[in-house]
Amino acid sequence: TTTVNLCQGTTAIALSATALSGHTLQWYTVATGGTASTTAPTPNTATVGTFTFWVSQRSTTSPNCESSRTAITVNVNAVPTITGVQSMTVGGSTLQLTGSGTPDSTTPWASSNTGVATISATGEVTAVAGGTTIITYRNAGGCSVTQTLRVLDCNQPFGNALNFDGVNDHLVLDNVGSN
């Protein structure tokens, strides 16, 4: 038995197997009986669930014997969600994110820019510097989702928009003191 993991809503490609020389593949949607097709099926990823297909080999020469069927199990896994994402401030509290479903056993969480924010294996985010980062959560089925997280640095509320380097330095405040 071979297992293929896909994510719900993704574009799947046709299943594949390799026939021995002098044989053709026979594809089935049932374990016994049924009608064979020489065209490999393409799994439908619209619905979460487990689906099984079977493949055998048929000799292209007499006596046209057919092998037993081998199952190919296709798991269509739900795309996870992330909850708890909000803007953070440097030096503020950490932020606990939650991912739906069972997390990936090795690296469930990742930050695309650890110079802005880091994230632990349990989903706890720590702000490092002002900017944005993409947080990714991956579930045990191999499906992932991303969310953008913004970190504000209150010590630099304008970021680097104000750069007083002695060249063309000026600041204009309109309507100051007017009613």
* Per-residue model confidence (pLDDT) at position 179: 53
The tens digit of pLDDT for each residue in 41-79 reads 999 999 999 999 999 999 998 888 999 999 999 999 999
pLDDT band at 11 (very low <50, low <70, confident <90, very high): very high
120-158 burial code (b ≥16 CB/10 A, e <16): eeebebbbbebbebebbbbbebebbbeeebbbbbeeeee
* Per-residue model confidence (pLDDT) at position 117: 97
Q: What is the number of residues in the chain? A: 179
State the number of CA atoms in the 13 A half-sphere of 14 facing the CB.
Answer: 9
103 pLDDT more than 90: yes
